[in-house]
Amino acid sequence: MGKVIPYVVGMAAALGFTLVLTPLVRELNRRLGMVDKPDPRRINKVPIPRGGGLALFLGVHLALALLYALYGSDIAIFQSARLLPLVAIATLICLLGYADDKFNLPPKVKLAGQLVLAFLVWLWADLGFRNVFPFLPAWLDAFVTVFWIVGAVNAFNLIDGLDGLASGLALIATVGMGGSLVFLGEAQNIVFYCVFAGGLLGFLRYNYNPASVFLGDSGSMYIGYVIAVLPLVTHHASESFLVSVGVPLLAMGVPIFDTSLAIVRRSIRHLISRNADSGEGQVMTADSDHLHHRILRSAGLNQRKAAWTLYLLAIFMVALGMVGMSLESRTGGLWLLAVAIASVIIFKDIYRVELFDAGRLLNAVAHDRTVKARRRWAQLAVPFYILYDFVALSLLSLALCFIWDIPVDRRIVLSVIPVRVFAVFVCLAAFKVYRTIWSRAMLSNYLRLFFACILGSMIGGSILYYAIPAMRENMIALTVSYALWSGFLLFAVRSVRIIMRDIFYAIDCSRLVGRKDISRILVYGSGLRYRSFRRELVRNATANGRIIVGFIDDDLLLKGKYVGGIRVQGTLLEAPEIINRLNVDAVVIACEMEDSWLKVVKETLRPTGVKTTVFTFKEKEI
């Protein structure tokens, strides 16, 4: 029982100190003008002091000082020579954040300070990933350590957007990492975890919704620093990867995921704005599309519900890591399960923002009609296809050797692979594959591509059959496999533009469907002319401001069927009811019809009051 007392004392002391200090720091910051005022990006509706992380820092370190006074070197943490450098760097981290809270430092200055302090952890405190991976060279260990610490610092900095979110997630991460040490029988190393958890609990008293004080950069950066450094101090090379790195990664999963999305999202928007000659969209510019912002919007602006959604996700991640520690033989499968679950969550969350912005960027690049852009793409297209084909065909040859257990020796590399690749290349050139504009390719172009791959594979296989008798075994199967797979690989890269165009069109539509300023179109006719009309919409769906919500078609057999993912709702006679049910704004006629039938269409649609247009393309003599 006596061994537990220091942990209880440390946690209670940190809790008490933080409870007392936070109101004092809050009032100090208010008098210094360190207040977050409401604006369109912020969630708070009233001015709230920031920089409360200073109280957390003071509470935690005063509790450590008390423990040292009471127990001295009897506690493992005070026996380490690293303690003084780590505390000094933590102080500098907190002061850097506090300066940002007061003076709004430029992002580059703040990042530079973080990099220097993270490097001091490696250089001065002699702490790095070599404690976990002893084989790491010094330069790589320094890079990984700095990246780990700076990443964690900014992850908690960016996630600090809801009342109690960053401090609550940090508490869950701390308990999870401390629990992993208890699980391994190293409870003597969890004193600081207990102290830090007590400080976080004390601060949550004032930071939980409705918050009366915010962490600010002083608190979020300090929290990120502590969460990043703790596993490096307490975990060792003798422990499993899951314990040393996996559990901390899972514990920080929510902030890391949010930070990664922010980097991707802002980078894409920066490229979009640069293409549009806009001054907006800088990579380091804050936005309101963080994970907590999206959950907050879906939760009806209920901060507590949004915060608890992310708390539960973090608890699940930590629990997953703990279960993985108890099932060492099944750790790989457990991680696969985590990846599968995370993939569903990730795609559900990002397809409306990051993928939409990526679609905007790709769409802008693909349809850049300036002479310079067209010349650039024309110059790069053929070399790209040639390089891709060479790499794909060579790797395919190697892959088939591994599948058929054929040793990859000098003969394979210098004879077999070149013959197969060269034979296919000759046929591709003979069938004018590299002179085809694949963005406008038709079925006949793809058939020529496949036929060239089949013929080239047969020629290459025949040469090898007679030139290298030792290769005759499995030659027919190898040749057939090479023909089919080479055709598929070459087809895939040439059709990816069409596939991506349709994917991003679907994403565009999913975003636009709920907006009130978008025109909802009912298309009359689902044949060839509709495909041309849809192509025009796909080229710039968002700017067009229109989405197709359904078809009407006079072919009774099509009713209820889907064309390109859009349902055929019925015939012309049912159009008024369909227009009313789907809240249609306009009807586009995308089929050929006689003038007499066009009059019938007008009469049928007139009572609905919707705008009706005809999409047509005709050959005219000039």
Average pLDDT by consecutive 10-residue portion of the chain (622 residues)?
Answer: 79 95 94 81 75 95 92 81 91 95 90 95 88 78 92 87 87 88 79 94 92 92 93 64 64 75 70 54 60 68 81 82 61 53 54 57 56 58 86 90 80 84 92 83 88 93 84 83 92 81 66 71 87 73 74 89 87 92 91 88 91 81 76
Q: Strand 35-36 relative to strand 48-49: parallel, antiparallel, unpaired?
A: antiparallel
Name residue 552's beta-bridge partners. 524, 570
pLDDT attached to residue 249: 74
All structural domains of the chain: 5-350 (no CATH), 371-504 (no CATH), 513-614 (3.40.50.720)
Name residue 519's beta-bridge partners. 546
Looking up tokens 């003008």 gives: 33
Q: How far apart are CA 464 and CA 419, in angstroms?
A: 8
pLDDT attached to residue 150: 93
pLDDT attached to residue 142: 92
pLDDT attached to residue 538: 65
In one-letter notation, the amino acid at residue 618 is K
Please report which helix (H) or strand (E) contains residue 603, including its range: helix 595-605
Q: How far apart are CA 544 and CA 353, in angstroms?
A: 19
Region of residue 351 (phi > 0: left; psi between -120 and 50: alpha; otherwise: beta): alpha
pLDDT attached to residue 270: 67
Answer for the pair 236, 132: CB distance below 8 angstroms, yes or no: yes
pLDDT attached to residue 324: 65
Q: What's the token pair of residue 243? A: 């314990």
Question: Which of 176, 171, 174, 173 lies closest to 208 in space, CA to CA?
Answer: 171
pLDDT attached to residue 56: 95
Name residue 611's beta-bridge partners. 586
Strands lying side by side in the sheet with 611-614 = 562-563, 566-570, 546-552, 519-524, 586-589, 611-614
pLDDT attached to residue 278: 47
Answer for the pair 573, 545: CB distance below 8 angstroms, yes or no: no
Answer for the pair 189, 7: CB distance below 8 angstroms, yes or no: no
Answer for the pair 231, 177: CB distance below 8 angstroms, yes or no: yes
